[in-house]
Amino acid sequence: MFISKKINSMLKYIGLAVVRRSTVERFLEINNTDFLDKKHKIIEDRIERLGKDFSSFENNILRHQIAEKWSIVDYFSRNFNDPNRLCSCPLCGFSAKINALKQFTSNCIFGGGVLVRYQCQNCDLIFGPDKMLDLSPLELSGDYEWHYKVYKEGDSTSQEIRAFHALNPSKSGIYLNYGAGAWSKSVQVLRNEGWNVMAYEPHGSAQENSNYVISSSEDLKKIKFDGIFSNNVLEHLRYPIDELVFMRGIIKPGGRMSHATPCFEYLYEHTRFHLFFYLGRSRALLAEKSNLNIVDFILDGEFMCSLYEEKRI
């Protein structure tokens, strides 16, 4: 090594020939390593900052795309919708002209534009916005996928655990968190406590590579559960009667369901993904049409939980 030879020659010149060549080389190796490590750290820090900057830029672009999409939809809705057209309640089928129904207007905090909902005169259900109800199942699922690329839901672990315990569960039973999502740790917490709990999340936002997470309804049909629980799910279901009937079909005889949501009242309306608010008579009607009985209803502030069991002949 040229540099080490030069330094060794200098050491000999000043009478320090006792310093061995290997010692000098080791000194240079350590200092060169430190220098390279510092360089690598600087480069890594810069790459990390660039990655964060790019991620932030990408998120802003996606948010802009989402907002622009719904802005265009809102433009056509304002200018081409007939205010005298008939509107049918998705739950009871009651029909009336749009301008005869009570209207609720808000704005989506997730870039979804204006949200216009209507209340059914017959069953009290608040439903909408139309622009979400008009989406096909594939389109609605796609909108969720885009949403989860840039937005995160709040942690609902405590409410989900509370909905689970409302089932009065048994350690020998098997239970399902329906619509578990990735933002809740309830399944992990409950499993760590010794409960046999599984998760179902069809939109790909739940934990991956886990043997207790199910993303396919076909796989779900292969299992029978002692109980099903959810939090902030009923208001998202495009066809809630069909979904409750499906859930009823994967519960063992005598099993129960526990569904909690503040949307048993008109709360948290500033998101386009909340399609239904089950006010007044609509709660009982939802259960009746799903061939379920409401066996209890818990009301504690914003924690509202309805417990169901299958109707017995």
| CA proximity to 251, closest of 227, 287, 233 | 227
Predicted confidence at residue 14, as pLDDT, reads 43
Average pLDDT over residues 294-300: 97
Task: Note if the pTM is more than 0.75.
Answer: yes
Catalogue the E-assigned strands of 162-242.
174-178, 196-200, 213-214, 225-231
Q: What is the per-residue pLDDT for 52?
A: 60
Give percent above pLDDT 70 in the chain: 79
pLDDT, mean of residues 78-83? 84
Six-digit token string for 144: 């969720």
Comparing 28-37, 47-56, 95-104, 190-199, the range with the smallest average pLDDT is 28-37
What is the rounded CA–CA span in Å between residue 256 and residue 293?
A: 10
The pLDDT of residue 25 is above 60: no
Length of the chain: 313
